[in-house]
Structure 1
Amino acid sequence: MKINGNEIRPGNVIQHQDSLWVAVKTDAVKPGKGPAYAQVELKNLLDGRKLNERFRASETVERVRLEQKDHTFLYEEGDMLVFMDTESYEQVSIPQDLVGERRAFLQDGMAVVVESHEGRPIGVQLPEQVTLEITETEPTVKGQTASSSYKPAILENGLRVMVPPHISTPQKIVVNTETMEYVKRAD
């Protein structure tokens, strides 16, 4: 499907320079002189290279539709992650680098969406939020208010996030998997 260069949004997958790229960041730029354009940071889905590109509104790019199927995370095997298709029960191995640093959020039995292009897995969508337990954090200091700055906490998966001062161990918190930030205390 063809779209104008200024319609590219973060998360869109496009065909560019004979490869598949995902838009990481987009900025609409309106210079004082000359036509407006979109400054797009792209990441290659096949080899991980990054590229900054300008797309004018008059240019068209090919937006790629990815096949999305529900899978369950099973286990880690070397540098591969093994998932099972929830419909066919077929197992698929995906390199860890396709998930990146967000693989720390993967938990046994977690429901994810595996994205494929022409039958080849190229990405994994994790749930938007995950509940994790805090294993280590600084003690609460009496007299600190809720409006004071956040303090560091280490989660059960080894990830470090900033949490409000009233949060302590061994509480469970909800973390956003995209931004890797504290959302709220789990119920």
Structure 2
Amino acid sequence: MKINGNEIKPSNVLQHQDTLWAVVKVQHVKPGKGGAFAQVEMKNLIDGRKLNERFRSEDKVERVRLEQKDFQFLYAQDDMLVFMDSDTYEQIELQSEFVGDRAAFLQDGMTVTLDMHDGKPIGINLPQFVTLQITEADAVVKGQTQSSSYKPAVLENGVRVLVPPFITAGERIVVDTSEVAYVKRAD
């Protein structure tokens, strides 16, 4: 769908320079001399490059709608991750680099959402929160208060996270996968 340059909004996906770009930031500028334009910061969905581009209101750009499909994580094999389509039961393999650092949060049977374009996956969304057990946690230093400082801990998946002093090894906690941060004790 073609849209005008002044209609671009953050989170839009655009077809520009023969590739897909996610709009990160848009600033509308009206200089004293000349016409108004939108200064758009974009991130390439394929290779992660960033681009700053100016679009005038009369410029036409192609806005792309991504299809979102639920997949279930099955297992990791070497550097490949295997997912199954929840509707058709077809399996696909993705490089672990596709998921990046967040691959450590994948758990057997976890449902993830893949952003698809022309039948190819171009993005992945993990659940925002996961529950994991702490395998190592530093001892509490006497005199520290609950709100003053956090201590390092290691989760069962090997990821390091900062936790409040009252959390000990063996406890289960809820972790925010996007921020890699402690949220609360698990129920």
Short-chain TM bin: 0.7 to 0.9
Contact kept in structure 2, 1:151 and 1:162, CA below 8 Å: yes
- 3-state SS of 1:179 partner: coil
Per the normalisation by structure 1, the TM-score is: 0.84
Shift of 1:28: 3.7
CA-CA distance at 1:135 after TM superposition: 1.1
Aligned equivalents of 1:57 and 1:140: distance in 2?
A: 58
The alignment yields a C-alpha RMSD, in angstroms, of: 2.4
State the partner residue of 2:149: 149
Partner amino acid, structure 2, of 1:26 = K
Relative to structure 1, the CA distance from residue 39 to residue 154 in structure 2 (aligned partners, 3 Å threshold; closer, same or farther) is farther
Corresponding position of 1:117: 117
TM-score by length of 2: 0.84
On the 8 A contact 1:148/1:165 being kept in 2, the answer is no
Structure 1: tracts of 5 or more residues without a match: none
Listed one character per residue, the Cα deviations across residues 141-174 of structure 1 (whole Å, up to 9, x for unaligned) are 2332122122211111111111122222111111
Aligned partner of residue 22 in structure 2, secondary structure: strand
Is 1:173 the counterpart of 2:150 in the alignment? no
Return closer, same or farther for 1:152/1:55 CA change in 2, 3 Å cut-off.
farther
1:6·1:38 contact (CA, 8 Å) conserved in 2? no
Q: Which residue of 1 aligns with 2:93?
A: 93
Q: Aligned in 2, Cα 1:36/1:185: closer, same or farther, shift over 3 Å?
A: farther
Q: Which has the larger radius of gyration?
A: 2
Distance in 2, matches of 1:50 and 1:82, equals: 26
Q: Which amino acid aligns with 2:136?
A: E
Given that 1:5 and 1:55 are in contact with CA atoms closer than 8 Å, whether structure 2 keeps it comes out as no
Identify the residue that residue 137 of structure 1 maps to in structure 2.
Answer: 137
> Between Structure 1 and Structure 2, how many residues are aligned?
183
Cα offset, 1:13, TM superposition: 2.5
Q: Aligned equivalents of 2:158 and 2:72: distance in 1? A: 22
The SS at the match of 1:169 is: coil
Q: Deviations over 1:28-48 (max 9, x none)?
A: 476986757445241x222x2
Greater mean deviation of Cα atoms: 145-154 or 28-37: 28-37
Structure 2: gaps (5+ residues) = none
Q: For 1:6 and 1:148, how far apart are their aligned partners in 2?
A: 46
Residue pair 1:6, 1:56 contacting (<8 A) in 2 also? no
